[in-house]
Chain A
């Protein structure tokens, strides 16, 4: 129901409005095939004629009787921003006999040129022809106040009916006052999911041909339309002391899907309001109506025994938007709440309680009541794992045109037992929110016990033993070892012990070698360090010999002290010691240090084999030896640093 056309009154049949700016002169008929006893409306329409228009000649109506007319109409229409004026003359004819007749062209003179309308062929058949629907038969269709044009009701205070526009009266104000669309809602503040009834009504006191051009979309709601009687039935309502005819355009049951401020969209209605324009004065009716319309004062027309003429005024109206305040349902809802709002009953049953694994079971949950039945979600059912479950089948049994919406929704859960044994389907909980008591109510079913026996399933059993694509490989029969240990060798102490075990002999070997090396090195180091002391000790022994005057012993001891010193200090074994080696080792020393050393050695050697000199010489040698050794000691120390 996107577009419902409400015909309130069809005065002139299919009134067509010129689309183009250029001048046209056309003949229009209400039907091309009529019954013998039916009326035919013929309209000669001149659109967008500018300048001098006169000399209208209708075609001869040889085979017809003129029942009514000529009636004159004039108007302006604006379509898509382009304006067009038209003048038309209307005759109502009745055929005299059966047959096919051609209405010849009518002529009119515009600015001196004769313009012809199109000829029309009319087929007259016997009796009633249902294909035709002369507009006159719909005349009574609900004009406020009854008849046209001068009916009794709808008096606006000075005796004139509402459909009459007096001179000087503002059309807009008049339309605004007499035609409007209203939205009636039964509440403006409600809970999410609660039902809201919105009724769009057209109020009118004027004859109008209306069509709904825009229907509300109801964003944020789930909408369910109530079927309206067709054709629409008018009721009467008094608003501000005036009686209006009221037509229901749309009646919808709305269920808010979200909370917050929601707006009901406006409905738009296009009206073609027909008004009789009344003019004061009473002039003689001219023979040629066009003369008067275009040449004289068109308002001074005495037309059809009335003072005035009919104009069609397009009028677009929109209902005022309505804001609805939707409250969310309280947050503390139980887990089993799935969005049901209203008053409900629940009935749960299973179709059998004893079956084999080859059979299937149906769990049926019926929820009946008033509220958002059409939006109910399946209650949460905790099916034990022993059953294969499928999505529920949902069937609705909603009472037609019920307001508030009531009915039942049935959920059928097919269950396939997979396991033998006694299984319990736990009780089903269904929670709904009752907006009247503003509280959650939970319904419980009783739990169901199902006894499942192993079925034959011979085919299944076979497949179980083959490793198919969609079959599990069979279970293992044997466990290799019943050990509780985590069994990680890597994290055990034994692993690291065994891993590092060979390092022990390696370390032992290394230690052994190092100790040996150290010991040998250490001996020569000690000798080196103590060389001075040893030398001085020997020299002190030599000093004793000097005192005693033992010349040979003195020189021997002095010589040994010097050589021994060199041997220790230069890491040269005593046996390998000779002058050349010492010279090599000491070559980096200054010559004035080595020279006295070698002189001293020569002295000692000579004195050993050829003793000469006396105590004084010995004393000098002794002094020399001490001096040389201490000098060497100093030099070698500096060299080490």
Chain B
């Protein structure tokens, strides 16, 4: 029995030793591979880190670059979008994604947003989901403090407490709403990237249906509906069609 335990312990030790390579080492290796133009190998290393569960803007961004250089446009767009989810206002990611999108043939361009939509997006992106969440906690404490003062210990502080109560309530609702919104954006599975080249969009979820238009690798689509194997997708210009779900990867 003791022998068995000893054996298990050594085995465990080996296993940890094998995993001893830190993610930073792998990351540096991948960067080096990228520098020597071995893009496929670099992309594989980045992907390995992502598959291990690491979530970081720089990781997704570098993976996007490597995939782009290795001619995997779909995977490149996917990783850039992932990086943008984590850091929506990152200039380098936006630049590279724009550049890749321009190289996709027949890629429809979304209509530019109206000024108030633009403002709204800028506002929601002022803080990350976690930032909004922390702020909502602070305001909930402030609100409760103001309520307690106003209802239980009024006196000279009553007017200040009243203002604090109203302001706290409004700010709590806003920050909580923003936190929820930003969080739901991450859960949103309605956006997807086309991962295969020249996918024919069909008029109905059936292999024999009429071809409507062609989707190129790297196009961003909204998934409106799906059956077991077919997904109804919509391009940013409003065209809809059915394609096999394994052609797209949900963001």
Q: Which residues of A contact B (CB under 8 A)?
A: 357, 385-388, 418-421, 454, 467, 469-491, 495, 498-503, 505-506, 509, 513
Known: A419-B70, A490-B179. A479 touches B130 (CB 8 A): no
Instruction: Specify which chain B residues have a CB less than 8 angstroms from the CB of A506 in the assembled complex.
Output: 144, 147-148
- B129 contacts A502, CB within 8 Å? no
User: A483 touches which one: B54, B71, B148 (CB < 8 A)?
Assistant: B54
Task: A490-B129, A499-B137 are known; give 13 further A-B pairs, CB within 8 A.
Answer: A357-B37, A419-B40, A419-B70, A421-B40, A479-B27, A479-B54, A483-B56, A484-B54, A487-B130, A489-B130, A489-B133, A502-B143, A506-B147
> Can you list 29 residue pairs at the A/B interface with Cβ under 8 Å?
A385-B71, A385-B72, A386-B71, A387-B71, A421-B38, A421-B41, A473-B95, A473-B96, A475-B61, A479-B56, A479-B59, A480-B56, A481-B56, A483-B54, A483-B55, A484-B55, A488-B129, A489-B130, A489-B134, A490-B130, A490-B183, A491-B183, A495-B133, A500-B140, A501-B141, A502-B141, A502-B143, A506-B148, A513-B152
Query: Closest Cβ of chain A: how far from B76's Cβ, in Å?
Result: 9
Known interface pairs A481-B56, A482-B24, A502-B140; A488-B186 also in contact (CB < 8 Å): yes
CA distance in complex: A472, B61 (Å): 11
Measured between beta carbons, the chain B residues less than 8 angstroms from A502 are 140-141, 143-145
CA distance A467 to B95 in the complex (A): 9
Number of cross-chain contacts by CB at 8 Å: 127
Alpha-carbon gap, A506 to B95, bound state (A):
50
Docked-complex contact A420 and B37, CB < 8 angstroms: yes
Return B20 CB to nearest CB of chain A, in Å. Answer: 14
Asked if B39 and A386 make an inter-chain contact with CB atoms under 8 angstroms apart, the answer reads: yes
A454 to B33, CA, bound (A): 12
Q: How far is the CA of A572 from the CA of B36 in the complex (A)?
A: 96
Q: Which residues of B contact A (CB under 8 A)?
A: 22-24, 27, 31, 34, 36-41, 52-59, 61-62, 65-66, 68-72, 91-93, 95-96, 99, 129-130, 132-134, 136-137, 140-141, 143-145, 147-148, 152, 176, 179-180, 182-183, 186
On whether the beta carbons of B39 and A418 are closer than 8 Å, the reply is yes
Q: Are A479 and B58 interface neighbours, CB within 8 A?
A: yes
Given contacts A454-B36, A475-B62, contact A490 B92 (CB under 8 A): no
* Residue pair B144, A503 in contact (C-beta under 8 Å): yes
- Which residues of chain B are near A386, meaning CB under 8 Å? 39-40, 70-71
In the assembled complex, how far is the CB of residue B155 from the closest CB belonging to chain A, in whole angstroms? 16
CB contacts (< 8 Å) of A473 on chain B: these are: 65, 91-93, 95-96
Chain B CB within 10 Å — which of A385, A418, A495 has the most? A385
Q: How far is the CA of A488 from the CA of B184 in the complex (A)?
A: 11
Closest A residue to B66 by beta carbon equals A475
Residues of the A chain whose Cβ atoms lie less than 8 Å from the Cβ of B40: 385-386, 419, 421
Cβ B129 vs Cβ A489 within 8 A: yes
Q: How far apart are A451's CB and chain B's nearest CB, in angstroms? A: 13
Take A489-B130, A495-B133 as given contacts and tell me if A388 and B71 are in contact as well, using a CB distance cutoff of 8 Å: yes
Q: Which residues of B contact A490 (CB under 8 A)?
A: 129-130, 132-133, 179-180, 182-183
Given contacts A477-B31, A489-B129, contact A419 B39 (CB under 8 A): yes
What secondary structure prevails in chain B residues at the interface with A?
helix
Does the CB pair B53–A484 fall under 8 Å?
yes
In the complex with contacts A483-B55, A489-B130, A476-B62 CB distance below 8 A = yes
A499–B65 touching, CB < 8 Å: no
Q: A502-B140, A513-B152 are in contact. Are A475 and B39 (CB under 8 A)?
A: no
Closest chain A residue, CB of each to CB of B132: A490
Note all chain A residues with C-beta closer than 8 A to B137: 495, 498-499
**Complex contacts, B129 vs chain A, CB 8 Å:** 488-490
State in angstroms the CA–CA spacing of A102 and B34 once bound together.
95
Complex Cα distance, B110 from A313, in Å, reads 71
Leading 7 A-B pairs by shortest Cβ distance = A502-B144, A385-B71, A476-B58, A473-B92, A484-B53, A490-B183, A489-B130
Q: Which residues of A contact B59 (CB under 8 A)?
A: 479
* Closest Cβ neighbor of A417 among chain B residues: B37
Closest chain-A Cβ to B137's Cβ sits at a distance in Å of 5
Contacts of A489 in B (CB 8 A): 129-130, 133-134
Docked pose: A386 CA to B43 CA in angstroms: 12
Q: Which residues of B contact A475 (CB under 8 A)?
A: 31, 34, 61-62, 65-66
* A342: min CB distance to chain B, Å: 27
Q: How far is the CA of A513 from the CA of B70 in the complex (A)?
A: 70
Could you say which of A476, A481, A488, A498 has the most chain B C-beta atoms within 10 Å of its C-beta?
A476
Complex Cα gap A498–B182 (Å): 19
The reply to whether A467 and B92 contact each other, CB–CB distance below 8 Å, is: yes
| Cα-based distance from A482 to B24 in the complex (angstroms) | 8
The residues of B that contact A469 with a CB separation of less than 8 Å are 99
By a CB distance below 8 angstroms, the chain A residues around B132 are 490
- CA separation between A498 and B23, bound complex, in Å? 33
- Which of B68, B72, B141 counts the most chain A CB atoms within 10 A? B141
Specify which chain B residues have a CB less than 8 angstroms from the CB of A479 in the assembled complex. Answer: 23-24, 27, 54, 56, 58-59
**Interfacial chain B residues near A505, Cβ < 8 Å:** 144, 148
Q: How far is the CA of A483 from the CA of B56 in the complex (A)?
A: 8
- Chain B residues lying within 8 Å of A476, measured Cβ to Cβ, are 57-58, 61-62, 92
Q: Is the CB of A482 within 8 A of B23?
A: yes
Give the complex CA separation of A509 and B27 in angstroms: 55
Given contacts A482-B23, A486-B55, contact A419 B38 (CB under 8 A): yes
Q: What chain B residues lie within 8 Å of A474 (beta carbons)?
A: 92
Q: In the complex, are the beta carbons of B56 and A482 less than 8 A apart?
A: yes
A480 to B129, CA, bound (A): 17
A489 to B130, CA, bound (A): 5
A470 adjacent to B99 (CB under 8 Å): yes
Nearest CB to that of B30 among chain A residues? A475
The residues of B that contact A387 with a CB separation of less than 8 Å are 71
Most buried by B among A482, A490, A495, A502: A490
CB-nearest residue of chain B to A387: B71
**Smallest CB gap from B139: residue in A:** A499
A486–B148 Cα distance when bound, in Å, is 36
Contacts of B93 in A (CB 8 A): 473
Residues of A within 8 A of B34 (CB): 475
| Residues on the B chain within 8 Å of A477, using CB | 31
Query: In the complex, what's the smallest C-beta–C-beta distance from B189 to chain A, in angstroms?
Result: 15
User: B56 to chain A: which residues have CB within 8 Å?
Assistant: 479-483
A357 CB contacts on chain B under 8 angstroms: 37
Contact A418 B37 (CB under 8 A): yes
The complex places the Cα of A491 from the Cα of B184 at a distance, in Å, of: 10
Contacts of B176 in A (CB 8 A): 499
Contacts of B70 in A (CB 8 A): 385-386, 418-419
Chain A min CB distance to B147 (Å): 6
Would A509 and B53 be within 8 Å (CB), given that A385-B71, A489-B134 are in contact? Answer: no
> Taking A419-B70, A475-B65 as contacts, is the C-beta distance between A509 and B152 under 8 angstroms?
yes
| Among B23, B66, B71, residue most surrounded by chain A Cβ atoms (within 10 Å) | B71
- A472/B96 in contact, CB under 8 A: yes
- Least CB distance from A512 to B in Å reads 9
Q: Which residues of B contact A513 (CB under 8 A)?
A: 152
A484 in contact with B52 (CB, 8 Å): yes
- Min distance, Cβ A360 to any Cβ of chain B, angstroms: 16
Residues of A within 8 A of B37 (CB): 357, 418-420, 454
* CB-CB nearest in chain B for A512: B152
Residues of A within 8 A of B141 (CB): 501-502
How many Å lie between the Cα of A488 and that of B93 in the bound state? 22
Q: Give Cα distance in the complex from A502 to B58, angstroms.
A: 38
Once the chains bind, are B133 and A509 in contact (CB under 8 Å)?
no
- Determine how close the nearest CB of chain B comes to the CB of A125; give it in whole angstroms: 68
- With both beta carbons as reference points, the residue of chain A lying nearest to B103 in the complex is identified as A470
Write the nearest CB–CB distance from B84 to chain A, whole angstroms.
Answer: 13
- With a cutoff of 8 Å between Cβ atoms, the chain A residues found around residue B39 in the complex are 386, 418-419
User: Are A478 and B134 within 8 A (Cβ)?
Assistant: no
